[in-house]
Amino acid sequence: MSIVVGKTSKAPDFPIAAKTALKNDQLRRNVAHATNVIRSKRALRVEEMPDWEDLRQAGSEIKAHTLAHLDHYLEEFARNCERAGGKVHWARDADEANNIAIKLIRRYGGIEPGVEVIKVKTMTSDEVQMNHALEAEDIKPIETDLADMIVQLGHDEPSHIVVPALHKNRFEIRDIFRAKMRLPDLTDQPEDLTNAARHYLRNRFLRAKIGISGANFAIAETGSVGVVESEGNGRMCVTLPEVLITLVGIEKVIPTFADLEVFLQTLPRSATGERMNPYNSIWTGVTPGDGPQAFHVILLDNGRTKLLADDIERETLACIRCGACLNACPVYRETGGHAYGSIYSGPIGAILSPQLQSLEHSRSLPFASTLCGACYEVCPVKINIPEVLIHLRGRVVREEQKTLGGKLSAENIAMQTAATIFQDHRRYEAAQRLARVGQTIFKRDGQLTNLPGMAGGWTRSRDLRPIPKQSFRDWWKIRSSQKDKEPQ
Amino acid sequence: MLERLGHTVEFPVQQTCCGQMHYNTGYHHEAVPLVRRFVELFRDAEAVCVPSASCVAMMREHYVMMAEAENDPAFLNEVRSLLPRVFEFSELLVNRLGLEDVGASFPHSVTYHPSCHSLRMLHVGDAPVKLLRSVRDLTLLELPNKEQCCGFGGTFAVKNPDVSVAMLTEKDACVVQTGAEVVTALDNSCLMQIYGGLHRSGSKVRTLHLAEILESTGGLA
């Protein structure tokens, strides 16, 4: 098995990557501005819904039910998709998915070097690093989503699930377009940038024989596949080419067409603060004379089935990739998406990447959160992200405690010592007294400003009030004994 | 303050920690004895007042699940019986005792930071604000962007110090912007974080737990 989740396995630990991101003022301004805008738009569109909480609950229940019977619904989807003229392929991991795609491209005539395939935004293809796999075979993937195109032309990585180029402002985008589209006089006006993108893409849309898409939904009942988007590039990608290949994570299946009623309300409002997406494309198999005449679906596992066994972990698979948790997250707001070292960033990335790939490659991610709960509050399918984070922290700690290095780590020793102290109030009080004495050498102007070890992470940029001469307990004990002496 | 209202307060000195730090950092096994200890010490209380929203959130969100995993029905029953009697400080006053005016006087300007656990897990709503509005001579100033986390997050503050401080810098800028003399909250942990940044930057804004304001009948020393 070669489970690949973007470039997660080569990423530095979150605290290190975050430190670099925090030094980039332009990036932080871009991220704060963009997330503020999307957050307020979302809030408006959610507040106007009298049944928002019911919709969240319904979405959560549909997903929980589907994941509990995933085998059943996947087979139903595959049957109905093939009955309608589609062909379904099952990919266990990234390599299998990419090899299936490459073989299909070759089979449908994509044999000349540098053959172009057009793509509509698909996080799943970024997950399996499909563009790299295609390029290695001299196939040229053309990203047609504006933000994905910016990322591709700028040799960059997506930093947001819905808005992959959120970390770039229009001046930076203008510079990329100027260089890559050879438009030295291009301005930074949004209309001009959009026009440049339209001109760049138009011929590529028209001449491509093969399109690649992801899917927001795969509907078991009808075998249909759906993509929602804002730019119309998706509609072109799934209708213009002769051949369409759709890569779908297995968790994207929903039981019935009617279930869309819930998700087509919650997804656009959560993702971009729109009442509905400008383009909602749903297609079923092949229609002779209309649209692609060959349709292939690749159902991707890539680590997903591992999550099914555990109640808490399974929740992660309910995600509909709206990105609301990223926009709400105060950590993401400071660092942007790249610090997470994965194409899935923010709170959902912090639980998804380590579970899909393995904790080994992203063990710092479950700790990249204050557990403030803003993600859970906005999640349209009610994934209790803080709960999953705590669960994964437990797994990381237990795995590390199995190694000698983990047992002897400063953190483990501190935690074991604290646990022992907390089990007896006399030890607790003694520790307080000891700390009161010990802290004197770190005091400056009545403050703790330069503590050693892990606590140094605190005092590098923050002061700490020393433990007072009299603790609450001391005060309480004296007070109680005085009270006892008082005449009744 | 509770005694001023005519209640009998007991403080079992054997108590130590609710286990939140261990649990939230991933040391789940290590937290279990602390949960048992808490339940043992407080099981006979009429009402347990916890002046820390995150500790109450720890109890309500995780104690049952932890007890279930222990496979000890007696322990699970005790947890289930105790939890409805556990109240965060402002919950106790407003929801359990039905009070808003506790007879306090505090002639200072105050801004209130709704800590994440009180806001999004306990859903205390405007209980603390009602209490503050009823304090004589107190000027309550709205904190901009108040629902954003201060960046403490328990061990997050030392495991991810740079991000924690970046978040804190935003929070403290909002606090200073209000012009308030005092910032208050239901969690001393957030206040420790907020204080750490304010004091380092030379700000004179004081950090006080809501209980300290409600206890006051005359203001700051």
**What is the number of domains present in chain B?**
2
Residues A353, A362 contacting (CB under 8 angstroms): yes
Rounded to the nearest 5°, which phi and psi values hold at A370?
-90, 0
Chain A CB contacts of B15 below 8 Å? 425
Could you report how far apart the first and last alpha carbons of chain A are, in Å? Answer: 78
B34 & B84 share domain: yes
Same domain for B211 and B113: yes
Quote the tokens at residue B204.
């004179």
Q: Which residues of chain A neighbour B119 with C-beta distances below 8 Å?
A: 373
Range of the domain at B199: 109-215
Position B221 scores a pLDDT of 67
Inter-residue contact A277 to A265 (CB < 8 Å) = no
CB A276 within 8 A of CB A65: no
Tell whether B118 is covered by a domain. Answer: yes
Beta-bridge partners for A246: A213, A297
Nearest to A373 by CA among B24, B166, B42: B24
B29 and B62 both lie in a single domain: yes
Tokens of A144: 């047609």
DSSP reduced 3-state for A226: strand
B138: domain CATH number is 3.40.50
Distance CA A45, CA A378 (A): 12
From CA A15, how far away is CA A340, in angstroms rounded? 9
CA distance B28 to B20: 9
d(CA B49, CA A183): 67
Same domain, B27 and B123: no
* Whether B151 contacts chain A with CB within 8 A: yes
Residues of chain B neighbouring A368 (CB-CB closer than 8 A): 160, 163
What Rg do the C-alpha atoms of chain B give, in angstroms? 18
Q: Give, for A126, the enclosing helix (H) or strand (E).
A: helix A123-127
Residue B11 lies in a domain: no
Domain shared by B82 and B118, yes or no = no
- List, for residues A180-204, the tens digit of each pLDDT value: 999 999 999 999 999 999 999 999 9
CA B105 to chain centre: 21
Q: Which residue among A14, A369, A396 places its CB closest to the CB of B153?
A: A369
In a domain, B56, yes or no: yes
Architecture of domain A8-306: 3-Layer(aba) Sandwich (3.40)
Q: State how far the Cα of A304 lies from the Cα of A340, in Å rounded to an integer.
A: 20
> Chain B residue closest to A460 (CA)?
B161
Determine which of A112-116, A226-230, A417-421, B171-175 has the lowest per-residue pLDDT on average. A112-116
Q: What are phi and psi of A337, to 5 degrees?
A: -85, -30
pLDDT exceeds 80 at position A354: yes
B-chain CB neighbours of A447 within 8 Å are 199
User: A226 - beta bridge partners?
Assistant: A217, A282
Q: Is the pLDDT reported for residue B183 higher than 90?
A: yes
A21: its two tokens: 């991101």
Q: What is the DSSP code string of chain B?
A: -TTTTT------TT----SHHHHHHT-HHHHHHHHHHHHHHHTT-S-EEES-HHHHHHIIIIIHHHHHHHT-HHHHHHHHHHGGGEEEHHHIIIIIS--S--S-B--SEEEE---HIIIIIS--TTHHHHHHHTSBTPEEEPPTTTTS--S-TTTHHHHSHHHHHHHHHHHHHHHHHHT-SEEEES-HHHHHHHHHHHHHTT---EEEEHHHHHH-SS---
Please, which pLDDT band fits residue A487 given cuts at 50, 70 and 90?
low
Would you list the domain boundaries of chain A? 8-306, 426-485
Q: State whether B61 and B147 are in the same domain.
A: no
Kindly provide the ipTM of the predicted complex, given to two decimals. 0.96
Q: How far is A331 from chain B (nearest CA, A)?
A: 7
Q: Which of A227, A316, A318, A327 is nearest to A273 (CA)?
A: A327
The DSSP result for A79-99, as a single string, is HHHHHTT-EEEEESSHHHHHH
Each residue's pLDDT tens digit, A274-284: 999 999 999 99
Asked if residue B91 and residue B151 are part of one domain, the reply reads no
Q: Check: CB of residue B153 under 8 Å from CB of residue B164.
A: yes
Question: Does the distance separating the beta carbons of B22 and A419 come in below 8 Å?
Answer: yes
Residues B91 and B113 in one domain: no
**Nearest alpha carbon to residue A465 among B200, B20, B159, B18:** B200
Based on the fold, state whether residues B91 and B135 are members of the same structural domain: no
- Is the pLDDT assigned to residue A35 strictly greater than 80? yes
Do A419 and B15 count as a contact with CB atoms less than 8 A apart? no
- In this prediction, residue A454 has a pLDDT band, given cuts at 50, 70 and 90, of confident
* Position A488 pLDDT exceeds 90: no
Report the C-alpha gap between A239 and A383 in whole angstroms: 34
Residue B113 has pLDDT above 90, yes or no: yes
**Contact between A298 and A73 (Cβ < 8 Å):** no
Domain boundary among B64, B95, B126: B95
User: At which of B95, B130, B146 does a domain end?
Assistant: B95
Mean pLDDT to the nearest integer, A367-391: 98
